[in-house]
Amino acid sequence: MAIPAQPSLYPFKESASQTAGPYVHIGLTPNFSGISGVYGADLGIAMITNETKGERISLEGRVIDGAGNQLTDALVEIWQADADGIYHSRAEPGFCGWGRAPADAKTGIFRFDTIKPGRVAFPDGRMQAPHINIWIVARGINLGLNTRIYFEDEAEANSADPVLSRMDLQDRAGSLIAKGGSGSYRHEIHLQGPQETVFFDI
């Protein structure tokens, strides 16, 4: 006697993939999107206070697509250690270590006012160069992209960094290094093309 086939527990097909669309900005930066009354200020806009220890820096950047056009609807989040190389769970009270910024709708520029992060140990104990972890979403990006930003004026630390010194990254390590110094840095993130930024699978 044949046993009748059991009906599938999941009879529906997977829905189509969706890009970030406008809802990322509406949900995460409502004031920037013209929606008031949700938060007094969009979360992540202010990272430092007068009490925050460390060297103040500004970081400006743009996200560039494969055709060389700047994305004016990108949303960027950063995570970083404090000046002592400690992440937020144990960081000093005047610094949260996390920020969120939308790209300017006209210029495509995003900006963070923060501090230069301290060095953090790699899992094997080697010290990493000062860096900022970054997450990007925008139209056409189905899953947020993860990368890092290092600093041009930290050449000695960069040369010994366990990530930047990987042999398979040597030709592209420059795509992770912000230009500038004296507290002011600028960086471009390229999604595709010959200058494509190194992204991390995490």
Residues 6 or more apart in contact with residue 24 via CB below 8 angstroms: 75, 137
**Would you say residue 6 lies in a domain?**
no
Domain around 171: 23-190
What average pLDDT score do residues 174-197 get?
96
pTM: 0.86
pLDDT at res. 5:
54
Indicate the helix (H) or strand (E) that contains 147.
strand 145-151
Confidence of residue 145 (pLDDT cuts 50, 70, 90): very high
pLDDT at res. 143:
85
What average pLDDT score do residues 37-62 get?
92
Give whole-number Cα distances, 119 to 18, 85, 114, 147, 160, in Å.
Answer: 38, 5, 15, 17, 12
Q: Can you give the CATH number for the domain in which 35 is found?
A: 2.60.130.10
The domain tally of the chain equals: 1
pLDDT at res. 57:
98
pLDDT at res. 183:
95
Give whole-number Cα distances, 108 to 62, 75, 83, in Å.
Answer: 6, 10, 29
Lowest mean pLDDT among 86-100, 124-138, 166-180: 86-100
What's the CA dihedral at 139, 142, 144, 149 to 10 degrees? -60
Is residue 104 over pLDDT 90?
A: yes
pLDDT at res. 11:
63
Is residue 61 over pLDDT 70?
A: yes
**Would you say residue 114 lies in a domain?**
yes
**Would you say residue 54 lies in a domain?**
yes
pLDDT at res. 19:
60
**Would you say residue 71 lies in a domain?**
yes
Lowest mean pLDDT among 89-103, 122-136, 183-197: 89-103
pLDDT at res. 17:
57
What average pLDDT score do residues 3-9 get?
55
pLDDT at res. 29:
85
Where would I find the H helices in 49-103?
A: none
Residues 6 or more apart in contact with residue 180 via CB below 8 angstroms: 151, 152, 153, 186
**Would you say residue 4 lies in a domain?**
no
**Would you say residue 3 lies in a domain?**
no
**Would you say residue 12 lies in a domain?**
no
**Would you say residue 96 lies in a domain?**
yes
